[in-house]
Amino acid sequence: CLPWVHHGEDCQVLSIQSHVICGYMGNQAVTLPLHVLGFKIDVVNSVQFLNHTGYSHWNGQVLNSDELHELYDGLELNNMNKYNYVLTGYMKDKFFLAMVVDTRKELKQQNSRLLVMCVPVMGDKWNREVSIYLPEDLLLVYREKVMPVADIITPNKFEVELLSVMDVLHLMGLDTVVITSLDLLSPRGINYLIMPGSQMTQTPDGTVMMQSILMEMCKVDTVSIGTGDLFTAVLLAWMHKQLNSLKVACENTVSAMHHVLQQTIKCAKAKAVEGLKPSPKDIQNPEIIIQTIVL
């Protein structure tokens, strides 16, 4: 169960996910909010693409497992491999993904309290159309190698269907599961999304307890790429700051997401006129506008 004991210390995050030249997703989406929230972050770009793969044309480079191993060897030789968190996202190669798991084992030897937060970027479903982001052979690696060693996972509805259901994910060894959005009928109507989450915690006497939450979020009238990466980075930071309170962490995360998206829409409409530019306070100290239901 999650040992949230780093509160108040300098925290170092190793983020292994995609980089795009144009746009904000992957490492481009997680670096700023983690810096704003006071975290140190090192990044490894699993791929370097021109833009996300939803465009009609995209190209770039894919880091392979040998190259990742070479980078980690350098960190180890320089004694720079002391991390509190590993954050993983988009991967393109199954051997690279397997090497990430091996790297996690070595990092765990340096810090036994290391936590792994995984965004299983596999695909999504828009207007009943399925879009797969990764080769099919990576799904088996996720199921058999990544899930048993991850501590926190933030899949969307489509990805959790590919992996399993929440209870089974806990049985695979995951302490915290947050499904970023379910397009199911909310009691509030069709304009709302549901976000369920659950966390296993351990009391001082060794008793394992399950905390389950549910959030209902008003849909935002826009389609944005990279929001899942931003969500996971902010959730990591707030779970660290709020220790074992999944409720408070999710409220701050979803509220921050809401403010960032609303400010982005305003800026896009007004072409970023003075006075409408986004503020870091929307991430650092978001006004809580969505309440969590503890189940």
- Please state whether 69 falls in left (phi above 0), alpha (psi between -120 and 50) or beta: alpha
Percent helix, strand and coil across the chain, each to the nearest 5: 35, 25, 40
- In order, the DSSP letters of 252-287 are HHHHHHHHHHHHHHHHHHHTS-TT-S--THHHHS--
Q: Are 21 and 48 contacting, i.e. CB atoms less than 8 angstroms apart?
A: yes
- Token pair for 25: 């997703």
Does 229 participate in catalysis according to the annotation? yes
| d(C-alpha 184, C-alpha 195), whole Å | 10
Q: Are 181 and 156 contacting, i.e. CB atoms less than 8 angstroms apart?
A: yes
Give per-residue burial for 197-221: e unless 16+ CB within 10 Å, then b. bbbbbeeeeeeeeebebbbbbeeee
- Active-site option among 93, 151, 175, 229: 229
Amino acid at 177: V
Q: Where are the beta strands (DSSP E) in 127-284?
A: 129-132, 152-153, 176-178, 192-202, 208-218
Q: Are 164 and 170 contacting, i.e. CB atoms less than 8 angstroms apart?
A: no
- Token pair for 227: 């929001």
Q: Are 50 and 25 contacting, i.e. CB atoms less than 8 angstroms apart?
A: no
The owner of tokens 């350098």 is: 74
| d(C-alpha 41, C-alpha 20), whole Å | 17
Tell me the angle at which helices 27-36 and 227-241 cross, rounded to the nearest 10 degrees: 30
The owner of tokens 């992957």 is: 26
Q: Please list the active-site residues.
A: 229
